[in-house]
Chain A
Amino acid sequence: IAGITQAPTSQILAAGRRMTLRCTQDMRHNAMYWYRQDLGLGLRLIHYSNTAGTTGKGEVPDGYSVSRANTDDFPLTLASAVPSQTSVYFCASTKDSDGGGELFFGEGSRLTVL
């Protein structure tokens, strides 16, 4: 089934640990995004990639890094997790960043940092 796959779906992590959230899409979309969603706030963009080989910073990039080595994969890394990074993380993709195409979301990764 075509779509976006995120892993893990849920994780509890000790503060200071390194963590990578994986995201893979098989729709050959050019643009990919990482959002975090916190209660009472809108989705906030962490990092994005308009095409393979390029990445950019979103609204809340501090403490996170990404890479886009190929079209399909867009992992998000927390170098040293802190409790304020407890959130639900959504990976999303769309065909082209400047079009009106819909965003397709993964099922989310619920991360708890203790």
Chain B
Amino acid sequence: GQNIDQPTEMTATEGAIVQINCTYQTSGFNGLFWYQQHAGEAPTFLSYNVLDGLEEKGRFSSFLSRSKGYSYLLLKELQMKDSASYLCAVKDSNYQLIWGAGTKLIIKP
């Protein structure tokens, strides 16, 4: 079966750095996405990785290792508004997105 694993919940301090991991087992791979979802709102796009390596976008970076079936989302200089759920999703061989259950990130002052 297809599976996306990410921690259920993480806590971090304002101003710090946090890394949210995602491991996947899918039938084929056509890219990995990270989305942010604030409580009661729709998910919004953060990043897309299709090749190995690190993609940096402001305070957020996303890393991919296809050989290890592994990705992480790195958030720097955490702000209270970063409190949200972070969803990892992989496009499989049929170009369908398989979603993880999401990681709820709690930022404390």
State the A residues within 8 Å of B (CB): 40-45, 48, 58, 90, 97-98, 100, 102-108
Report the count of interface residues on B (CB-CB < 8 A). 23
B45 CB contact (under 8 Å) in A43, A97, A103: A103
Chain A residues positioned under 8 Å from B99 (CB to CB): 42-44
* Pair A42/B101 contact, Cβ less than 8 Å: yes
Query: Chain A nearest CB: distance from B57 CB in Å?
Result: 12
Say what secondary structure dominates the interface of chain A: loop
* Pair A45/B97 contact, Cβ less than 8 Å: yes
17 additional contacts, CB 8 Å, given A43-B87, A102-B33, A104-B45?
A41-B101, A42-B98, A45-B96, A45-B97, A90-B42, A97-B95, A100-B48, A102-B45, A103-B33, A103-B35, A103-B43, A105-B42, A105-B43, A106-B42, A107-B41, A107-B42, A108-B42
Q: Interface code B5-40, partner A: CB below 8 Å = 1, 0 otherwise?
A: 000000000000000000000000011010100000
Q: Does B4 contact A (CB under 8 A)?
A: yes
Cα(A4)–Cα(B50), bound, Å = 26
* Pair A100/B43 contact, Cβ less than 8 Å: no
Cα(A45)–Cα(B89), bound, Å = 12
Chain B residues positioned under 8 Å from A105 (CB to CB): 42-44
The total of Cβ contacts below 8 Å across the A-B interface reads 47
A42 CB contact (under 8 Å) in B41, B44, B87: B87
* Pair B102/A42 contact, Cβ less than 8 Å: yes
Query: Chain B nearest CB: distance from A105 CB in Å?
Result: 4
Chain B residues positioned under 8 Å from A108 (CB to CB): 41-42
Query: Chain B nearest CB: distance from A112 CB in Å?
Result: 15
Cα(A43)–Cα(B43), bound, Å = 10
Chain A residues positioned under 8 Å from B89 (CB to CB): 42-43
Q: Interface code B70-109, partner A: CB below 8 Å = 1, 0 otherwise?
A: 0000000000000000010101000111111110000000
Identity of the chain B residue whose Cβ is nearest the Cβ of A31 in the assembled complex: B95
* Pair A98/B95 contact, Cβ less than 8 Å: yes
* Pair A58/B96 contact, Cβ less than 8 Å: yes
